[in-house]
């Protein structure tokens, strides 16, 4: 930071392997260049992401792919080991996410949006928001045998785009700012390409074949809003008692374009 304090620790946590890469890897790469420590976390290991392999087999593959993608960025990776389509809001889940946050000790968290096309994403968003609040509560125990200590304060919280930037009814979801990720798009594509097993699954289940192309087209649409080749949009959580300063904008300077657009 400009005042000489340590650079922020960033936790990017989303539901499945490849969600972080698809939505925010370009911004993470820029933050890494600024000296930030990056941790990528997934709630699941993608255990339902195959029609041919067993849950254990595909989960092992997708964990390795997620780790390989994080390695390209020089980031840490962890999986919280929820099951696909089995992430729920309950006390045990909240404590598990709280423990992950305490271990990562972030000052900035980027997670899934509150409204998205599937429940895993939405529940991840809710659990992360709740856990950020509880992580600093001294007597909120996670029941781990080697539990991390409570955090010192509540981090900055940001939400990435929902799929295609729309809500359940196809209406645009507002964003507060767009980051120009043109210079890091190549690295983002390499990170996404590390998730090779996901392409086959999306082709079979969702009829989506051009996995990398669809990501490039979406970042191109967001970039076009600010007159750049590629971009990633974010919304900041500004409810009580979360920090209100925009630390991402402070770190990235002119690469961060405030839009407050819908």
Reading the chain (262 residues) residue by residue, the pLDDT tens digits are 555 567 899 999 999 999 999 999 999 999 999 999 999 999 999 999 887 889 999 999 999 999 999 999 999 999 999 999 999 999 999 999 999 999 999 999 999 999 999 999 999 999 999 999 999 999 999 988 899 999 999 999 999 999 999 999 999 999 999 999 999 999 999 999 899 887 666 665 555 556 788 899 999 999 999 999 999 999 999 999 999 999 999 999 999 999 865 4
Give me 240's structure tokens: 């009580």
Give me the sign of the Cα torsion angle 16, 90, 92, 243. positive
Q: Which of 60, 16, 24, 19 is nearest to 160 (CA)?
A: 24
- Using alpha carbons, select from 195, 234, 192, 197 the residue that is nearest to residue 215: 192
Strand partners, 39: 11, 76
What is the spatial distance between Cα 121 and Cα 15, in angstroms, rounded to a whole number?
A: 6
What are the structural domains of the chain?
Answer: 9-261 (3.40.50.10320)
């Amino acid at each position: 930071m400009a005042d000489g304090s340590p650079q922020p620790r960033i936790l990017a946590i989303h539901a499945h392997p490849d969600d972080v890469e698809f939505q925010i890897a370009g911004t993470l790469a820029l933050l890494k260049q600024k000296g930030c420590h990056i941790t990528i976390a997934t709630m699941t290991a993608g255990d339902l992401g195959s029609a041919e392999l067993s849950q254990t087999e595909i989960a092992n593959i997708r964990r390795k792919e997620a780790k390989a993608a994080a390695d390209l960025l020089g980031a840490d990776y962890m999986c919280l080991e929820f099951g696909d389509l089995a992430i729920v809001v309950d006390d045990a889940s909240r404590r598990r996410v709280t423990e992950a946050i305490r271990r990562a000790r972030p000052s900035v968290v980027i997670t899934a949006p509150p409204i998205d096309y599937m429940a895993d994403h939405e529940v991840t968003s809710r659990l992360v928001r709740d856990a950020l609040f509880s992580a600093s509560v001294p007597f909120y125990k996670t029941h781990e045998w080697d539990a991390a200590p409570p955090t010192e304060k509540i981090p900055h919280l940001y939400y990435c785009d929902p799929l295609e930037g729309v809500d359940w009814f196809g209406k645009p979801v507002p964003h507060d700012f767009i980051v120009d990720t043109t210079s890091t798009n190549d690295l983002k594509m390499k990170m996404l390409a590390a998730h090779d097993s996901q392409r086959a699954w999306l082709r079979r289940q969702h009829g989506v074949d051009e996995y990398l192309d669809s990501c490039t087209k979406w970042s191109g649409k967001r970039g076009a809003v600010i007159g750049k080749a590629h971009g990633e949009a974010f919304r900041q959580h500004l409810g009580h008692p979360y920090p209100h300063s925009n630390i991402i904008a402070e770190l990235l300077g002119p690469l961060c374009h405030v839009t407050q657009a819908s």
